[in-house]
Chains A and B, each alone.
Chain A
Amino acid sequence: MSSNPLQDPLIIAGREFRSRLWVGTGKYKDFEETRLAIEASGADVVTVAVRRVNITDKNSENLLDYIDPKKYTILPNTAGCYTVEDAVRYSRLARAAGVSDLVKLEVIGDERTLFPDTAGLIEAAKILIAEGFIVLPYTNDDPIVAQKLMDIGCPAVMPLAAPIGSGLGIRNPYNLKIIMETVNVPVIVDAGVGTASDAALAMEYGADAVLMNTAIAGADDPIMMATAMRYGVDAGRLAYKAGRIPRKLHASASSPIEGML
């Protein structure tokens, strides 16, 4: 089933994507569960981390044997990078592995909240953009930072809804809306989504896409939750495009008085 029944493609750096739900690959039970959940989500874009290959266990499996790079757009991230140097190094390594020039850039500022170090993020983004990377930055809800990221050449911005894995949903819808007004590149809400209504809300606010990992992988039934998220993103996007009614303080009758006894 298509995740985008209205032919409403997401366009990022000249690339078209059918699905507005992007998913991560961490925290699953095993690769098979990862594969099934991603399939159920209908996602086109899948984030992965860059790490040392297991050279001691020759039978260890490879994620990309389960997630076909021909079927999905693999988006490497710089997860676990706390410095500009590390984020740049991991980005270069990701590109050297020969999959794409895309990178989801994370420069983490704090171990507990995993909030981005936005100064480091901007610095790393500048370096990588100059080297021809397509940088999708994981940022916070500060519209000034979002503007800067756009100005230096990021083709989209990825503001967090709430701390990674927290499941809190959008903590600051007002700032998120301001970001959407401020930048004229796609806004992908990334991190902190907990359940389907959070994803729907993000899309109703006007987000172009939503990225999540823990919300699916950590659910009791990840495959079922992946399906829920697919519907949530679709519902939110349709509602946004359909143009909702305004909120009113008072009632507004649906039936005419004329004809009443």
Chain B
Amino acid sequence: MGLDNFLIHSTKNLSSNMQIIVNGESQEQSHPLTVTNLLKSLDLHSKQVAVEVNLKILDRSDFDTWNLQEGDKVEILSFIGGGSLSICS
């Protein structure tokens, strides 16, 4: 077995992929995946964000340790400019 094949074979045994839904979009991510790592993969770790997993709002202190699971619905929110908009506007 060549070195490349050996490495691919090894990592397959340690992790796998999973489908999660992030902000309404289905995404394939590697498993295991903490919330912190998900945010990092989206270039979001430095921003002030709120994270909700399956309707549960996470404490920021849990981001490093919360492991996402297959099928999880993740919502990542932050602040934008704005207020309520009328249908007449």
Asked whether B86 lies within 8 Å of A53 as measured between CB atoms, the reply is no
Give the interface centre of B25, B84, B87 by most chain A CB atoms within 10 Å.
B84
Interface size class of B (residues with CB under 8 A): 20 to 34
> Is residue A80 contacting chain B, with contact meaning CB distance below 8 A?
yes
Interface of B: prevailing SS = loop
> Which of these, B79, B80, B85, contacts A99 with CB under 8 Å?
B79
Q: A92-B57, A93-B57 in contact; A80/B50 too (CB < 8 A)?
A: no
Evaluate contact between A24 and B79: CB separation under 8 angstroms.
no
Residue of B nearest to A213 (CB): B83
A79-121 interface with B by 8 A CB criterion: 79-80, 92-99, 106, 108, 111-114
Nearest-CB residue, chain A, relative to B38: A55
A74 on interface, CB distance cutoff 8 Å: yes
Residues A93 and B81 in contact in the complex (CB < 8 Å), given A52-B24, A112-B87: no
| Cβ of B2 under 8 Å from chain A | no
The reply on B72 being an interface residue by CB < 8 A is no
Measured between alpha carbons, how far is A165 from B87 in the docked complex, in Å?
Answer: 12
Give B13 Cβ to nearest chain A Cβ, in Å: 30
Give how many A-B residue pairs fall within 8 Å (CB-CB). 123
In whole angstroms, how far apart are the Cα atoms of A163 and B80 in the complex? 22
Q: What B residues does A114 contact at CB under 8 A?
A: 84-86
Which of A42-50, A180-188, A200-208, A250-258 is found at the contact surface with chain B? Answer: A42-50
Q: Report the separation of the CA atoms of residues A165 and B44 in the bound assembly, to the nearest whole angstrom.
A: 33
Write out the residue numbers on chain A whose beta carbons fall within 8 Å of the beta carbon of B85: 26, 79-80, 114
* Chain B residue at minimum C-beta to C-beta distance from A116: B84
Q: Which residues of A contact B81 (CB under 8 A)?
A: 24-28, 31, 34, 48-49, 63
Q: Roughly how many angstroms separate A92 CA and B88 CA in the complex, as a whole number?
A: 29
Tell me which residues across on chain A come within 8 A of B84, comparing CB atoms: 77, 79-80, 106, 108, 114, 164
Residues 41-75 (chain B) with a chain A CB within 8 angstroms: 42-44, 47-52, 57-60, 75
Determine the distance from Cα of A80 to Cα of B77 in the docked complex, in whole angstroms: 15
Among residues of B, the one whose C-beta sits closest to the C-beta of A47 is B83
The yes or no answer to B89 lying at the interface (CB within 8 A) is yes
Contact B86 A164 (CB under 8 A): yes
CB–CB B83/A63 < 8 A: no
Contact residues, B29-44 vs A (CB, 8 A):
42-44
Besides A55-B25, A64-B79, 4 more A-B contacts (Cβ < 8 Å) are A34-B81, A50-B77, A97-B77, A165-B86
A-B contact pairs, 16 of them (CB 8 A): A25-B80, A48-B80, A49-B79, A50-B77, A52-B23, A53-B44, A55-B44, A79-B84, A95-B50, A96-B51, A97-B48, A99-B48, A99-B79, A111-B86, A114-B85, A164-B83
